[in-house]
Amino acid sequence: MIRRTTSFVLVGAEAEPCRIEVDLASHGLGSIGIVGLPDAAVRESAERVRTAVRNAGFAWPGSRITVNLAPADRRKEGPVYDLPIAIATLAGTDAITPVRDGGRHPEQWLMAGELALDGSVRPVRGVVALAALADRLGAAGVIVAAPNAVEAELVDGLDVVGVSHLVEVVAFLSGGPAPIHALPSSRPETSPSETPTLSAIRGQPAARRLAEIAAAGGHNLALVGPPGCGKTMLARTIAGLLPPLDGRAALEVAAVRSAAGLPIDPAAIRRPPFRSPHHTSSAAALVGGGSVPRPGEVSLAHRGVLLLDEFAEFARPSIDAMREPLEDGVVTVSRASGSVRFPADVLAVATFNPTRGREDWTPAAGCRAMVDRIGAPMLDRFDLHHLMRPPALRSFLGVGDEADDASDRRAASRVIAARSAAVARQGTVNAGLRGRALSDAVALGPAGLEHLVAAVEALGLSARAFDRIRRVARTIADLDGCTQVDTPHLDEAVSYRVLDRT
């Protein structure tokens, strides 16, 4: 007698279907075996499921039970299969009312959950990916732990059943109503009141301009300056300037957080993420890794801002590991069993404090040492460079709250208008322009092209920097409401390559 349920295998931030097949033999000793490349946590499901079923008041079959997790060549990890294994086993013992008598078909509901020894259902990670999989497969819905229900409900139009105990699952599949539980709420990592606004950047008009350009075009930004000049505040300001995420982007962000096991606040789901890893973070912490790869900080900042504070202090392997994500917007983690891809479309802001190590120190020498530390190829990943100085204290005297609010609203409107123009023109923000699309968006005449080539040759820039200048110029033109990129836009874009001149 074979009974089946359906769960999922988490591959990166996406889910693949996993069919749970339970065979209750008519003979043999009362034991349970799990096959299908299970890890230690999955193999231990046998004891958790057996004890949970008994303590929930159901009879455990005395025959030999074989559990197969298909596909058998995909490694399974974690306690997500406790619930589907228990339900398939109980279906084999007729504890669940069959469909012909008014019950629901267990195979049509994707389910996942860890079982406590008393039969309680605990949350697991990756439920957003599970819900998206159920939607793609046209399943009846998903059955998950009550705390996970808020994640699954991010997928529109999907029936989500949140449960707290194995008894509730059996009752629901036997034709009963869905249990009702109060959904937990979690505090977002950064509330709107904690996000600095552009008006908080005092005495730094060039920095405020750069914040708008970076947010409007999605351009990576390198900030150099002494401690306390406002570099970190500027990075947080850029996160506040980004427009709310659309439905698809919000679901991508939620899927990454869910895959990492982080809480999700529905009230803040459309807010672009902001991550600021410490400079001691390992390469695996930054880009993801592990025997079963999990997303790193760059993926957790997907569709938002990644602040690399004191970037020159990061370990060299960590700096090198960031090259692919900052260029391609994706992380590929390779293991013997295969490769996993995580999304990593971020706006990176790197800050530097040039170290004063000698008496003959100069700003140019400090910047040169910093560039040598991260390497010229990494520096090319940043479209915008800016040298910041401490603002004059008198700049903090002056403008009132009402004028500041109006200034912030105007800046946000300009950013949204520029982004909308870019997406309407080429389907992506300007930082994502490549090849022919870049040439079409920045259609320079012979004079404009000659002017730009002369500037790039004078600075000794790379071909990658040449493309980045054109992208920045396109964003500057969009902020100015211009359909054509002109010489002033190119000159301003070139002026933001200051680190190439050291």
Instruction: From 394, 428, 462, give the residue that closes a domain.
Output: 428
Same structural domain for residues 197 and 334?
Answer: yes
Same structural domain for residues 333 and 250?
Answer: yes
Cβ–Cβ < 8 Å for 415, 243: yes
Mean pLDDT over 84-94 rounds to: 95
Sheet holding 347-352, edge to edge: 274-275, 305-308, 347-352, 221-224, 384-387
The amino acid sitting at 192 is P
d(CA 428, CA 226): 35
211 occurs within a structural domain: yes
User: Would you say residue 28 has pLDDT above 70?
Assistant: no
Task: Please measure the distance between the N-terminal and C-terminal CA atoms of the chain and give it in whole angstroms.
Answer: 75
Same structural domain for residues 50 and 135?
Answer: yes
Same structural domain for residues 308 and 356?
Answer: yes
94 occurs within a structural domain: yes
361 occurs within a structural domain: yes
pTM of the complete model: 0.87
The SS3 assignment for 443 reads coil
Same structural domain for residues 292 and 333?
Answer: yes
Lowest mean pLDDT among 18-27, 289-298, 397-406, 410-419: 397-406
d(CA 432, CA 380): 15
10 Å Cβ neighbour count for 28? 12
For the chain, the average pLDDT equals 88
Query: Dihedral through CA 129, CA 246, CA 135, CA 159, nearest 10?
Result: 100
Higher pLDDT, 470 or 292: 470
Same structural domain for residues 277 and 404?
Answer: yes
Same structural domain for residues 232 and 116?
Answer: no
For residue 196, the domain's CATH number is 3.40.50.300
The SS3 assignment for 5 reads strand
77 phi and psi angles, rounded to 5 deg:
-145, 150
Range of the domain at 311: 192-428
Q: Which residue has the tokens 């709107």?
A: 192
Cis peptide before 227 (omega within 30 of 0): no
Same structural domain for residues 77 and 160?
Answer: yes
User: Would you say residue 205 has pLDDT above 90?
Assistant: no
481 occurs within a structural domain: no
* Structural domain total, the chain: 2
442 occurs within a structural domain: no
Ramachandran area for residue 192 (φ above 0: left; ψ -120 to 50: alpha; else beta)? alpha
pLDDT of residue 243: 92
pLDDT of residue 193: 47
Same structural domain for residues 166 and 201?
Answer: no
For residue 32, the domain's CATH number is 3.30.230.10
pLDDT, one tens digit per residue, over 128-158 is 999 999 999 999 999 999 999 999 999 999 9
pLDDT, one tens digit per residue, over 427-486 is 999 999 988 999 999 998 889 899 999 988 888 887 888 899 999 999 999 999 999 999
86 occurs within a structural domain: yes
pLDDT, one tens digit per residue, over 299-327 is 999 999 999 999 999 999 999 999 999 98
Instruction: From 410, 428, 446, give the residue that closes a domain.
Output: 428
Same structural domain for residues 288 and 335?
Answer: yes
Q: Which residue has the tokens 């204290």?
A: 393
